Structure 1
Amino acid sequence: MKTRVIMYLSLLGIGLILSMQAYLVYTNYKQARSYLTHESDAVIDEAFRTELNQRNTFYKHQSGEDTLKTPPPRTKQNSTQYTMSEAKAYKDNLTLLTTLILNRFVSNTVPMNLHKLDSITGAILKAKNIESKYVVRIIDCKTGKVKEHSAQQPALSVFQIPSQIQDIDLDKKISLQLVLINPFAIIFKRMGILLASSVLVALFCFYGLWFLFRSQARQKMLMKVKNDFFGHTAHELKRPVAQLHLALEALSRPGIDENKAKKERYLAISKEATKDMSEKITMIMTLSMAEEGVFKLNYSDFNLVEEVRKLKEQFSAITEKDISIEIENTDADIQIKADKDHLRQCIANLIDNAIKYSGVSVNILIRINRMKDLLRLSVQDNGIGINPEKLSSVFEKYTRLNTASGSPSGFGIGLSYVKTVVEKHAGHIEVQSEPGKGSEFILSLPV
């Protein structure tokens, strides 16, 4: 319940963070767009006045006459009854009116050059560090249609920022307009730090959410694995314990000393059950110590071929199946320095798995080859094989090769134990298998 509440609170927190980031990004976008709109108004106004002044200068040079001059706006000295806002509005209106009159007067002799106006506009935009494609348009005030444009007419799109329409000739009813085409590179550049931080925060939030779900799923999986492991462990240890109990009970009966054959058989059963439990407990403890980093090997010199032959005799005595174990080696006496008990148990696990996951007739081939600095031992069987999708996880802890109903029981730690011991010897293990044709486990150890 607590995990679910924490998950919901985390989702709510992530939602709030992303909402705040989205709001900040949108607000800054609106501000940047408003700024560009205001700048485009100022640019087209300045460009038109500059172009008009150039025409006016050319006109005076050609005719030798003076044209109209813009009258000074009213100030506080000559019009104290006006407020600041009223004075500014009066000044703007008077300036616009004077500009319109001057344009009409000059245009009769020197018409406006749209391409020159476009060039002036580009220079002003560059001076203001506004790097965007643009087009200057002449618009019919009556119909709102574009009569002429300085560049290829852009298609209508939300990725345009138009300036306000500026009247330039009231008689001809025409106006000017500047359109910035796809200026979002500028907007994103101005919002670069905010966008980068927003993306990082969003990625961090999504990673946190993914990590939360992954941790919860992994926790559930580990809980299931733990429960399965305890169940299999109890089942596996129950068998040798039951055998040991029955054997000891039989040995405690009166007159058992008189029947030496029975006594020896029950003693053998007791020893085998005790050995079986000891080996299983050793594997569990080895994996536990390996995880904690305290697993150590006890090195000694021994003949590997001799140990493999002992294992052959031990497993060949199993009567439930028809077992044939063949040893193929290049040298009858291969002395190595390793942990004898653990390495022997590794080979025993591989042979035991080969017998478990084979049919009634079991053929096992053990190859032992010693090269310069490497010992190669492989255990090949004619069993049911391993599905390709399980090959990558076959050495993982608690992974069982076959979980179908009626399949051999086990801890799911045998191959993980083998891999741990082999890697502790600075070696490696690999598997080759094909369903229905058997498997081959190959151990490579430095010598």
Structure 2
Amino acid sequence: MRTHRVLRWAVPAFLVVQAGVLGLAWWAGSGLLLALAELAALTGFAGLLLLAHYLVLRGRYAREREAARRAAERRRVADEVHDLVGHELSLIAMQAGLLELRSAGADAELAGRLRAQAERAVASLHDTVALLHGTAPDEPVTDDIEALVARARQAGARVTLHGNLDREEPGAGRTAVPTRLAVHAVVREGLTNAARHAPGSPVAVVLSSSGPPEDEAVEVRVATSEAPSGTAGPVGSADGPGAGRDGGHGLDTLRRRVAALGGRLDVRHDGGTHVLTARLPARPAGDVLTSLDRVEPSGARPLRLLVRQTAVPVAVACAAVLGFWTWASHDSTAEPEVLARFDVGLSTAELDALVPARQAPVRLARPLPPPADSTCRAYTDGNFPLAAATVEVCADGRVVTRVTELSGEPLW
């Protein structure tokens, strides 16, 4: 916000200063004053731009630190969850396995399902911890869409599954882990909303891939029909998570997760069917967590980085100014005690012994017509950075006929 404020007022302030400089030069009629005031205005404007750039660098540095803090906090939470919850889930799976061995019939089958669910929960926990650490496994258990649909069917849902994430033709690669997990989350959200708001309605889950191998895209579509008579309202009702484009927290979180991978999530109600569609790159460049916190690392504090970035252009500008001043003042500069000896009536021979070898190349005052039969030459006192001409001497071949102090002469 502070950066925008500086940039917003930098140009108007510079224009106001320019108007003041021109007005002062018109009032004083001094070219030297105009040059120095213009140099001061340009220096001030450059200072404002450097300040704005510094504020940009400082904001980016703050975002980098915040991203690093969030990443460290995620890793800490992941480790705590892994140590506490993972141990308890493993114990549950072991005890369910023992119960399965010691039971028979329906009890053994129930214990087996409990053991399998506990093992899936442990695998899901491991995948989540890996993602929080930024090192997702290559073959996560949590991307098993068929198992997710099967569990929904066991719970009484009318779900059909069509298609597959991975294409079978030659050259097609396996869908990346972050995309598989995001697709799993989309299907899970769609089935959850269907169970909550349209129990008993048919649900169709469609998986498809398209595009060339180097730019392959994955699409998942969860379509839920209207709830049968006597049940809860359809998904997308006014009070449900599917209400409107920006529905409940589940869809908002899912939309951010899909967007972090470079995908797009669409929620719509089409002819009595609620459709949840996500389209994602099969092999994105980032993942669902690091993409949210991606910043360009600067590797330095803002002030140090500002000096590093501006050192070369500032050095080049300074070298250009010094080079121009050296060229403009070389063999055209008369010392003050020499300038004091310039006077009307001074012989040309004495004048030639005093003046520098060449005239000053920069003249900011209006040239005056020379006296009759006279020629005029201008010299500088070496003023920085322009070495502008400060005195004009006119001679008729025998004596000096006129000496003009150019710093007091008008521009026009």
TM over 0.5: no
Greater RCO, CA 8 A, separation 6+: 2
Give the TM-score of the pair, scaled to structure 1. Answer: 0.38
Give the TM-score of the pair, scaled to structure 2. Answer: 0.40
